[in-house]
Amino acid sequence: MSEYQLYCFAQSGNAYRAALMLNLIGADWEPVFVDFFAKGQPRTPEFRANVNEMGEVPVLVHGAKKLSQSGVILTYLAERSGKFQPNGEDERLEALRWIIFDNQKVNGFLGPYRFLRTLARPPGDPAVLAFLKGRLDNNIAIVDKRLSTQPFVLGSRPTIADLSLVAYLYYPADEFGFDIAQEHKNIGAWLGRMRALPGWKHPYDLMPGHPLPGR
Ligand SMILES: N[C@@H](CCC(=O)N[C@@H](CS)C(=O)NCC(=O)O)C(=O)O
């Protein structure tokens, strides 16, 4: 058995953060497929009792430890590996600030937007999509501005703040109906820098479950 197991599925950008981090630090890890689309597995009593009471992926298993929330998983892996770690108190707090902003306002809206637009059956209410898109345009522009003066979120080197913020940004533009990298040039360039890191892989190549059967 590998050292780490990651409960995940290919369409989950939240899980991608953890999967990408594991790959970039060269960890010995394996995915554990969670069938969200056909079985609604994270919503089952079994999953909540045995894997994560919050009913979510990602969940990282490391020996007796079972961690959820991608920000917690990223922090744990950074501390263990010494890689992508913010240095000192100021950087640690700054990384946490961007991870929370990302979870709530950037990928926290982008994930549901893509899900309701492209993956949900039936698709989401257009009024909900319009609300999310309006918030997204504003919040993605904040990240783009941040990246206009420095190559990575905290400065000159990539950290867990970058790994959090890339969550949904490598999925195909047609799943969103707009091209984030094209519309936001600083984000586009930054995604290129992240893609160049040794061990980078696309979410559909890193986690099981793509393509969805029958789609
Ligand atoms: N803030 C969480 C978000 C996790 C999350 O929302 N995961 C989704 C998959 S992308 C999930 O498991 N949803 C289960 C459900 O909606 O039933 C994190 O960063 O780990």
In sequence order, which residues have a C-beta less than 8 Å from that of residue 3 and are 6 or more positions away? Answer: 27, 28, 29, 62
Q: Is 43 in the pocket of ligand 1 (CB under 6 A)?
A: yes
The pair of structure tokens assigned to 13 is 């950008």
Task: Please tell me the predicted confidence (pLDDT) of residue 134.
Answer: 98
Task: Please tell me the predicted confidence (pLDDT) of residue 133.
Answer: 98
Mutate to test the pocket of ligand 1, among 14, 98, 110 (most ligand atoms within 8 A of CB): 14
Residue 201: other Cβ atoms inside 10 A: 15
Q: CATH number for the domain including 79? A: 3.40.30.10
The strand ranges marked E within 59-131 are 59-62, 65-68
Task: Please tell me the predicted confidence (pLDDT) of residue 214.
Answer: 87
Q: Is 69 in the pocket of ligand 1 (CB under 6 A)?
A: yes
Atom in ligand 1 nearest the alpha carbon of residue 71: 19
14 Cα–ligand 1 center, Å: 6
Task: Please tell me the predicted confidence (pLDDT) of residue 194.
Answer: 99
128 part of a folded domain: yes
Strand pairing class (65-68; 59-62): antiparallel
Q: Is 108 in the pocket of ligand 1 (CB under 6 A)?
A: no
Kindly state the greatest CA–CA separation across the chain.
Answer: 49
Task: Please tell me the predicted confidence (pLDDT) of residue 79.
Answer: 98
The pair of structure tokens assigned to 4 is 């780490």
Shared domain for 22 and 104, answered yes or no, is: no
pLDDT in tens, the chain (215 residues): 999 999 999 999 999 999 999 999 999 999 999 999 999 999 999 999 999 999 999 999 999 999 999 999 999 999 999 999 999 999 999 999 999 999 999 999 999 999 999 999 999 999 999 999 999 999 999 999 999 999 999 999 999 999 999 999 999 999 999 999 999 999 999 999 999 999 999 999 999 999 999 88
Q: Is 39 in the pocket of ligand 1 (CB under 6 A)?
A: no
8 part of a folded domain: yes
Q: Is 56 in the pocket of ligand 1 (CB under 6 A)?
A: yes
147 part of a folded domain: yes
Atom in ligand 1 nearest the alpha carbon of residue 68: 20
- Region label for 63, one of left (φ > 0), alpha (ψ between -120 and 50) or beta (otherwise): left
181 part of a folded domain: yes
Domain coverage including residue 150: 88-195
Q: Is 86 in the pocket of ligand 1 (CB under 6 A)?
A: no
35 Cα–ligand 1 center, Å: 13
Under 8 Å between Cβ of 161 and 94: yes
Q: CATH number for the domain including 165? A: 1.20.1050.10
The number of distinct structural domains making up the chain is 2
Shared domain for 70 and 42, answered yes or no, is: yes
Ligand 1 atom 12: the closest Cα is on which residue? 56
In sequence order, which residues have a C-beta less than 8 Å from that of residue 43 and are 6 or more positions away? Answer: 55
Task: Please tell me the predicted confidence (pLDDT) of residue 43.
Answer: 98
